[in-house]
Structure 1
Amino acid sequence: MTDTMLAGRLDVRNKTFAVEEVPVPEPGPGQVRIKVRAAGVCLSDVHLIDGTLNPLFLASDKVTLGHEVSGVIDALGPDVPASWTAGQRVLLQAGERCGRCANCVRFVEPCLQVLTRGVDYDGGWAEYALAAPHTLVAIPDGLPFEQAAIIPDAVSTPWAAIVSTGRAAPARPAGVWGVGGLGAHAVQLLHLVGAAPIIAVDPIGAARERALALGADLALDSAAPDLRDRLLEATGGRGLELALDMAGAPAVREQAVSCLAPGGRLVLVGLTPAPLTITQSIPFSYFGQQILGHYGSAPEHVTQLVDLTRHHRLDLGRSISGTLPLAEAAAAVERLDRKEGNPVRLILTP
């Protein structure tokens, strides 16, 4: 093995991104080194590069991007539990507890400064990546690395938003605004838990067609003037008990709130720095509606999804829209930013 490797690095000072030669990291005490086999390209990566998002806890001026990562254990540092051995197939959780905040010191939930891989510390857009053993999840031989890589975040974030924050229930109406990398999986996962009807909203025709193929009962153009009327008709006049904003757009949030049932919940999954407003706040209060923030997922959500794939309850084969070599990471970012080909997930392969 050579002493250097390729890594996709972001300089947070001037928002410049480049694939560079960097030293191969050596695992220290309580660390494992992963030979990366696949890494997802997320819209959050695009927003980190364009400056819409900024790391909160990064200790240096540069960071290797990539929070959706799978690979093979390559080397182990001292004090790694014996259950982990070289050659095991794993995916990496997209983040971890900081270990330093008041809650972490007291061993209680939640961590107050959750660190995100590829944002607050080096991620997996690289030939090798370091990880703490507690962030490893073993994956079955039948699960391709490309599909395993996207489970943390692209699949686990909507899963957590659906089953935890949003409290989706069988035979209860749910809507998804934005059927891209997160929303496509949200439709699939709502179908898995039995939500009905499932209504997808997206301005792109191909995205609406994809939503129907993944289990949506109705797919609407967000620009349609009769959107609310058609949604109410599909839900028997009641509206949505759960609406998921996967787009992170103020207009989406206004539209989704207008479609909520009494007691309905809007979960904000897509990230945006734009202000959150409620134009019609009196009926919002009168009907006891809620807006809930959501970020990422807990470790158990990732392991649940791996088990669901293991038992053939969840098929992620349609989620991989293309693969590119790591050296072409900048091109992958541009393709995603332009929505070229309407991708669910693009994958980098070192």
Structure 2
Amino acid sequence: MAQMLAARLHVPSRTLRLDEVPRPQPGPGEVLVKVEAAGVCLSDVHLIDGTLTPLLLRGDTVTLGHEVSGTVAETGAGVTAWSPGQRVVLHAGETRDGVTYTRGVDYDGGWAEYALSAADAMTPLPDAIPFEQGAIIPDAVSTPWGAITETAVVRPAEAVGVWGAGGLGVHALQLLRAIGACPVVAVDPNPVARERALAAGADLALDSADPELGQTVRAATGGLGLAAAFDFAGVPPVREQAVSVLAPRGRLVLVGLTDKPLTVTDGTRFSYLQQRVLGHYGSDMPVALPQLLRLIQGGRLDFSGSVSGVLPLAEAAEAVARLERKEGDPIRLVLRP
């Protein structure tokens, strides 16, 4: 049986190892994809450090990687929509019997030489878009896109704020500007991230420790506050700060993951102003990916600057360490088998 390399996490011990494992064979309705690029996400770091735990994983070990692009290698029985050699982006999850499973969390992902996918959980990747950029779209770009367009339903000219200008937040800033939100306010304690936020399209980039932050936001919004605030940091103080500058009927959208409790200090004010807290996770892949790929092809969006580095699969642990240390303030690191 053919073998391949894969970076696998033993969940009980939180140990990441590069192993030689049998190359999977596509079953009925499945496609085997030769991985060309796989993104390294902060969620991967949290799986390794124990902050996150797979809920639906069968067994105790999983190949990480939910951001994956590649070429079709083989097709299983009954698959007619795909043929070997086609360039594809794999969806970050699959729905089975009404339950959504996350790739690289609940089942084997793309930190490997090959990855399996259901035939209906892939989208064609246009020739003009490099594999490295295509790989990061299923989460780093599509998750903020879903948060903006589906969960928050941001409208043109609405004032918005983004807390955390990292791997997802910086893309949210680009996307918010593209759909006409105004003003777009970025909040991050890191001065490098604030500079990056301005380059990505933010009208203002503020330090979360600035005691004048509330006054600055109100001045920029004509005294109204933000119609929508997005927490991409997953930090409790961020949520408190974001609520404090929400407009009446404003929406706080929680995208960053944390196991810490959510609190609203002034519940009476929150209720009186009819504000809302909305949880968000992932995106509607069959809708979001084609939309984003069209926008990239049409020159409306450009994520060429989002790939901060490319490492070989054998250096997966090093990529995780760099992201955890925020070495070089990366937006996205990508693994190439």
> What TM-score comes out, normalization by structure 1 length?
0.95
Is 2:235 the partner of 1:236? no
Q: Deviation of residue 236 (structure 1)?
A: 0.9
How far apart in 1 are the matches of 2:117 and 2:299? 28
Structure 1 unmatched runs, 5+ = 105-112
Paired residue secondary structure (1:329): helix
Q: Which secondary structure state, in structure 2, belongs to the residue aligned with residue 134 of structure 1?
A: coil
SS of equivalent to 2:19: strand
CA shift, 1:264, in A, is: 0.3
**SS at structure 2 position matched to 1:263:** strand
Any idea what SS the aligned residue of 2:78 has? coil
Q: Deviations over 1:199-251 (max 9, x none)?
A: 00000001000110111000000111111111111111110000000000001
Q: Give the aligned partner of residue 263 of structure 2.
A: 277
SS in 1 for 2:120: helix
Aligned to 1:94: 92
Amino acid at match of 1:26: Q
Alignment of 1:18-167 (within 5 A): 18-80=17-79, 82-99=80-97, 104=98, 113-167=99-153
Match status 1:339 vs 2:337? no
Match for residue 186 of structure 2? Answer: 200
| Distance in 2 between residues matched to 1:124 and 1:16, nearest whole Å | 17
Q: What is the rounded CA distance, in whole Å, between the counterparts of 2:103 and 2:302 in structure 1?
A: 25
The match for 1:9 is 8
Q: Distance in 1 between matches of 2:29 and 2:155?
A: 40
Deviations 1:6-41, CA, capped at 9 Å, x for gaps = 101001111111111111111111111100000000
RMSD after superposition: 0.8
Q: How much has 1:83 moved relative to structure 2?
A: 2.3
Residue 308 of structure 1 aligns to a residue whose secondary structure is helix
**1:68-117 deviation digits (Å, cap 9, x = unpaired):** 0000001111111x221000000000001122xxxx3xxxxxxxx31000
Report what 1:263 is aligned to: 249
Q: Are residues 1:184 and 2:170 paired?
A: yes
- 2:281 paired residue number: 295
SS at match of 2:7: strand
State the match for 1:308 in structure 2. 295
Query: 4+ runs of 1 displaced by more than 6 Å?
Result: none
SS of aligned partner of 2:181? coil
Q: Which amino acid aligns with 2:160?
A: A
2:307 to 310, 313, 320: 320
Partner of 1:110: none
Q: Residue 272 of structure 1: SS of its match in structure 2?
A: coil
SS in 1 for 2:295: helix
SS of the aligned residue for 1:292 comes to: strand
> How many angstroms apart in 2 are the aligned matches of 1:305 and 1:60?
35
What is the number of residues matched between the two proteins?
336
1:318-343 Cα distance to aligned partner (Å, 9 max, x none): 11110100000000001001111111
Q: CA deviation at 1:273?
A: 0.3
* Alignment partners' CA distance in 1, 2:126 and 2:19: 32
| Counterpart residue type for residue 344 of structure 1 | I
**SS in structure 1 of the partner of residue 96 of structure 2:** coil
Which whole-Å CA distance do the structure 2 matches of 1:68 and 1:335 have between them?
18
Work out the CA distance in 2 between the residues paired with 1:185 and 1:134. 26
Offset of 1:306 from its aligned partner? 1.2
What residue identity is the alignment partner of 1:224? D
Output the CA distance in 2 between the equivalents of 1:267 and 1:230: 21
CA drift of 1:144 comes to 0.4
2:289, 2:246 → 1: CA distance? 29
Whole-Å Cα distance in 2 between the matches of residues 68 and 87 of structure 1? 19
Give secondary structure in 2 for the equivalent of 1:97.
strand
Q: CA deviation at 1:313?
A: 1.1
2:38 alignment partner AA: A
Q: Work out the CA distance in 2 between the residues paired with 1:223 and 1:342.
A: 19
Give the whole-Å Cα distance in 2 for the aligned partners of 1:232 and 1:340: 34
SS at match of 1:302: helix
Alpha-carbon deviation of 1:159?
0.2
More divergent stretch after superposition (175-184 vs 303-312): 303-312
Q: Which amino acid aligns with 1:84?
A: W
The residue type equivalent to 1:92 in the other structure is L
